[in-house]
Amino acid sequence: MKSIIIASTSTIHGSGYLEYLLDELENHFKSVNEILFIPYARPGGISHDAYTEIASKAFKRIEKTVKGIHEFDNAENAIKNAEGIFVGGGNTFVLVSQLYKNKALAPIKTAVTNGIPYLGTSAGSNICGLTMNTTNDMPIMYPPSFKTLGLVPFNINPHYLDPIVESKHMGETRETRIKEFHAFNNQPVIGLREGSWIAVENDLLTLKGTLEARIFECGKTPYEIETNSDLAFLK
């Protein structure tokens, strides 16, 4: 029993925080009054309090209260007692370091497997994959491992970006980076464009939003899949 939203981004261009997802979240968290927010990814290095305030304001619009995990004495107990969980974006290395430090990964996996609704955006989506090896973030902190929740049997690349036509920059495109990943790793990767998300309901995995997603399987040419595609084939 699982109910998960794995979103490419919290915010799409020209729209407020979580705004494009609010209808979906109203349904996703319909049985939930208070959401446990995990602000560990600290975008731009902001404080846990400041970040929780941002999440709180967005969820107020659908009449949910939000409490930051840092407000509890014990992170494991906070997760065990949560009605719903939201892990926000920021830096995946900072997020994963803090999750390991507070022994939070196993309790989150248990809670989500037991049916507690989960929302991840960006870094919070990355950790739903098998590993964080396909994050776009700068490695500003050294986590004890790159292994993550494995709530889906593949890796996530959020904020997926198509090559910029006529760019003169010689840095690798996102596609080149994921191809390099597959020189050393086997699991599939889904490149989720901003505005896309994966909805997991029990064993049903579906691509949502208006856009296509790009699929990278080891040894195959990358290809596009339509929105509303069933992602069960991806493992």
Catalytic positions, please?
122, 137, 159
97 C-beta neighbours (distance < 10 Å), count: 18
Residues 91-150 close enough to bind a second copy by CB under 8 A: 91, 93-94, 132-142, 145-146
CB of 111 to a second copy, least distance (A): 26
Which of the stretches 9-17, 62-70, 200-208, 226-234 binds a second copy when contact is defined by CB under 8 A? 9-17
Q: How far apart are CA 30 and CA 21, in angstroms?
A: 14
Is position 226 an interface residue for a second copy (rule: CB under 8 A)?
no
Contact status: 12 vs a second copy (CB under 8 A): yes
Q: Is the CB of 13 or the CB of 203 nearer to a second copy?
A: 13
Please return the burial class of 21, using the count of CB atoms within 10 Å of its CB with bins 0-12, 13-18 and 19+.
buried
- Which pair of tokens denotes residue 61? 């619009």
| Cα(60)–Cα(150) distance, integer angstroms | 30
Among 49, 172, 201, 224, binds a second copy (CB under 8 A): 172
Does the protein bind a second copy through residue 159 (CB under 8 A)?
Answer: yes
Helix, strand, coil content of the chain in percent (nearest 5): 30, 20, 50
Residue 197 in tokens: 């998300």
Could you tell me which stretch among 25-33, 61-69, 87-95, 104-112 binds a second copy (CB under 8 A)?
87-95
Q: What is the DSSP letter of 208?
A: E
Which residues of the chain form contacts with a second copy (CB under 8 A)? 9, 11-14, 42-45, 90-91, 93-94, 132-142, 145-146, 159, 161, 164, 168-172, 176-185, 194
